[in-house]
C-alpha cells in the first residue's frame, strides 16, 4: 500500500508539474483567480465556508486531498507587489516534537525521493536538520530543485509552537545556491 501511494503521488506530481505550478495555479495569478482555481481543483478541498475567507485570507484554508510522504498538507501563498502569485508552500500538519527524528524524518526522506524522481537530483541538498539548528530559525531548507529554468522548489523542515512539520515551497524566482569553495 505504501508503494502504491508513493507511485500515485509521483504520477500526480508529474501531471501537476506539467499543468501549472500546483495543479492549474500559475505564477502571476491574482488572488481572485487563485481562489477560483482552488475551489474547482480536484487536488484540494476548502476547509472553511466561503463567507469566512474575507477574514481569514487563503493561507491554510485549502487542504491537499492526497498525502505527501504520508502527511496531510495545507497550502500557503505569497504575492508580489502587483498582487500576483509568486510563492506556494505546502506545509504538513504539525507533529509532536518527539516524532521529529522518526516520523518526520521518514516523511522528509520519502519526499526527497519523490521529488528527485519528478524533478531529477536536487541542485543542492543537505542532511536532515538537527534539532539544535532551530535555535534561531523556524524553518530549515535542506533541498533545492530548479524547475523549468524559471522557478525553484525548496524542501525542508520547521518547528513552530512546539510542533514540527515538513514544507515544500514553490518560488517564482531562481534561488541563488550556496556554493562550497
Residue pLDDT, tens place only, 95-148 = 999 999 999 999 999 999 999 998 889 999 999 999 988 877 799 999 999 887
pLDDT of residue 14: 39
With contact defined as beta carbons under 8 Å apart, do 75 and 44 qualify?
Answer: yes
Cα R_g (the chain), whole angstroms? 16
Q: Where are the domains of the chain?
A: 2-91, 95-171
CA proximity to 168, closest of 21, 2, 15 = 21
CA distance 6 to 85: 29
Polymer length in residues for the chain: 181
- When pLDDT is cut at 50, 70 and 90, the band that residue 180 belongs to is low
- When pLDDT is cut at 50, 70 and 90, the band that residue 92 belongs to is very high
Burial of 143 (0-12, 13-18, 19+ CB in 10 A): buried
CA distance 144 to 121: 9
Percent of the chain with pLDDT over 90: 66
- Report the DSSP beta bridge partners of residue 169: 89, 154
- H or E segment to which residue 15 belongs: helix 2-19
- When pLDDT is cut at 50, 70 and 90, the band that residue 179 belongs to is low
- Report the DSSP beta bridge partners of residue 158: 139, 165
Listed range (88-97, 102-111, 166-175) with the worst mean pLDDT: 166-175
Amino acid at each position: 500500500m505504501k508503494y502504491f501511494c508513493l507511485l500515485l503521488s509521483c504520477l500526480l506530481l508529474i501531471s501537476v508539474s506539467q499543468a501549472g505550478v500546483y495543479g492549474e495555479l500559475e505564477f502571476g495569478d491574482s488572488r481572485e483567480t487563485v481562489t477560483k482555481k482552488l475551489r474547482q481543483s480536484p487536488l484540494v478541498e476548502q476547509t472553511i465556508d466561503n463567507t469566512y475567507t474575507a477574514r481569514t485570507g487563503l493561507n491554510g484554508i485549502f487542504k491537499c486531498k492526497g498525502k505527501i510522504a504520508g502527511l496531510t498538507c495545507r497550502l500557503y501563498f505569497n504575492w508580489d507587489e502587483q498582487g500576483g502569485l509568486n510563492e506556494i508552500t505546502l506545509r504538513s500538519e504539525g507533529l509532536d516534537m518527539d516524532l521529529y527524528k522518526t516520523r518526520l524524518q521518514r516523511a522528509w526522506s520519502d519526499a526527497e525521493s519523490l521529488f528527485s524522481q519528478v524533478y531529477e537530483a536536487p541542485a543542492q541538498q543537505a542532511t536532515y536538520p538537527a534539532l539544535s539548528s532551530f535555535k534561531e530559525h523556524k524553518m530549515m531548507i535542506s533541498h533545492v530543485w530548479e524547475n523549468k529554468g524559471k522557478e525553484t522548489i525548496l524542501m525542508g523542515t520547521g518547528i513552530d509552537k512546539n510542533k514540527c512539520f515538513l514544507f515544500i515551497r514553490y518560488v517564482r524566482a531562481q534561488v541563488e545556491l550556496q556554493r562550497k569553495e
